[in-house]
Amino acid sequence: MTMITPRRALLAALPAALAAPGLRAQPVSRDVRFVVGFAAGGSVDAMARIVAQALGPQLGRNVVVENRTGAGGFIGLQTVANAPPDGHVLAIASGFNLSVSPVLPGMTMPIDPDTELTPIGGMGRGAMVLVARPDAPFSDMAGFIAYAKAQRTTCGHGGAGSSPHLMAARMAQMAGIDLDFVAYRGGAPALLDLMASRIDVYFALLPEALQHIRGGAMKGLAVATARPHPTLPNVPIMAATLPGMVGGSWWGVAGPKGLSPAWVSYWSDQVRIATAKPEVRQRLTESLIDESDTSTEAFKAEIASERRIWSEVIRAANIRVEG
């Protein structure tokens, strides 16, 4: 019988190890650019900077966050789409960019995300909460649905096809209610009108609404998360009333078209390692960024699943971007 020595075992394992996609990519050879299509100071920018700061020492190179705003994040994505696929220029892409925009009638996109970008993996998620005016005669989902079935109910949103709009439209379809939608130029003016009792409800990103809920300036009716959110432990999940009603904002990493499978695997692994560090996880949690699956397979599956969900909501509610 042939004895397998440790050296032989190591040599036998080398071909398989070298064939692993994550080990075929060369380490980064210069500074890396994270292009963010959203303004500095917001949740997406904060997430990108926290992860970039963790990646720098991990890679032995600087990871520079570059804000290229405009067109709902697409200006940043266009910058990356035009970059060489050498693994050194990456984008932070949103679910709106990757899943909603391609099926939103009237939406003008400077690039086709399906053909001009390469999905890499998830980076973080943002919870959403349904909030009501402070003097609303209801304080939970059952009361809200009963109210909306009995009389005219207004719901603000930040523009046709925005996350607040789509989430509210889906909720209305599942609950069998009609809502009078009121469009605003973003979440801030909608929340101001909600707190002034000019509209009844609004689907807000958690960072927008958390302090107002805690301070009593608005009511938190339900969170659209799979489990109760630790920042609002007394606010129930929406799925308890409307099974399957889970959703929110999510963001991931994408590269230019033609990015090799080796680089895709490399960056998916690097982001996973960075975001799993306890100090990084703590900073992301403090910024109200929840965990996301960083694997490429899960990211692609979410893009496809979300596109199916929102295309049906958009069609049923006849949502389109005007002008």
Residue pair 292/123 in contact (Cβ under 8 Å)? The answer is yes
CA 256 to each of CA 158, 193, 203: distance values in angstroms, whole numbers, following the listed order: 29, 41, 33
pLDDT at 9: 40
The answer to whether 90 and 33 are in contact (CB under 8 A) is yes
199 vs 153: CA distance, rounded Å: 8
Spell out the alpha helix ranges (H) of 102-140.
113-116
β 117-132/201-205 pair status: antiparallel
Separation of alpha carbons 106 and 282, rounded Å: 40
Nearest to 158 by CA among 215, 113, 205, 213: 205
The answer, yes or no, to whether residue 13 has pLDDT greater than 90, is: no
**45-244-74 Cα angle (round to 5):** 30
Average pLDDT, the chain: 91
Work out whether the CA dihedral 258, 87, 124, 104 comes out positive or negative. negative
Give the tens place of pLDDT for each residue, 103-143.
Answer: 999 999 999 999 999 999 999 999 999 999 999 999 999 99
- Say yes or no to pLDDT of 24 above 60: no
| Single pTM value for the model | 0.88
pLDDT digits (tens, 9 = 90+) for 75-93: 999 999 999 999 999 999 9
- Please tell me the predicted confidence (pLDDT) of residue 322: 82
Position 10 pLDDT exceeds 60: no
Confidence bin at 177 (pLDDT 50/70/90): very high
What share of the chain has pLDDT > 90, as a percent? Answer: 87
Tell the residue number behind the tokens 């003097």, with chain if given: 135
Provide the pLDDT confidence category of residue 159 given band limits of 50, 70 and 90.
confident
